[in-house]
Amino acid sequence: MKFYEHHTETVIGASEFWARVRRHWGIAVLLFLATLLIGTGGFCLSGLSPLDAVLDSTMLMSGMGPVKCGSIEAWHGKIFASLFALFCGIVFIVAMSIALAPFLHRLLHATFLKRSEHPTSGLD
């Protein structure tokens, strides 16, 4: 499966580009949903109710911080909350990279094609 065209190929059309954007955003959404599922499961195992577990997971994923983590008494629950918070930061960076990749690729590809069509000097 080929995600992107080679730099020697022309830039894809608008309909293909938006299909690529939808595909990438779908992957990013699935990554967020999987992370939410992991967080909810971990907080449920730490002793929170399912609703509180979803609340803490979404708050950590949004960067706001936990709401009910103070009610977690077990050491393994506190370790999970710490590791999940770090994991959420990494997931956010990865998901945003996936979601923005088509736009950045199109920008760089179009810029490269323009430069190769109109070289400014022999040093390029």
> What is the spatial distance between Cα 40 and Cα 46, in angstroms, rounded to a whole number?
10
Sequence-distant (6+) residues with CB within 8 A of 21 are 102, 103
> What is the spatial distance between Cα 57 and Cα 11, in angstroms, rounded to a whole number?
40
> What is the spatial distance between Cα 46 and Cα 53, in angstroms, rounded to a whole number?
9
Per-residue pLDDT of the chain (124 residues; tens, 9 = 90+): 677 777 777 888 889 989 999 999 999 999 999 999 999 999 999 888 899 899 999 998 988 877 766 678 888 888 998 899 999 999 999 999 999 999 998 888 877 766 655 555 444 4
pTM of the model: 0.78
Question: What is the dihedral angle through the alpha carbons of 106, 109, 112, 117, rounded to the nearest 10 degrees?
Answer: -100
Report the first-to-last Cα separation within the chain, whole angstroms: 32
Query: Phi and psi (nearest 5°) for 11?
Result: -70, 140
Could you tell me which of 99, 96, 44, 91 has the C-alpha nearest to residue 72? 44
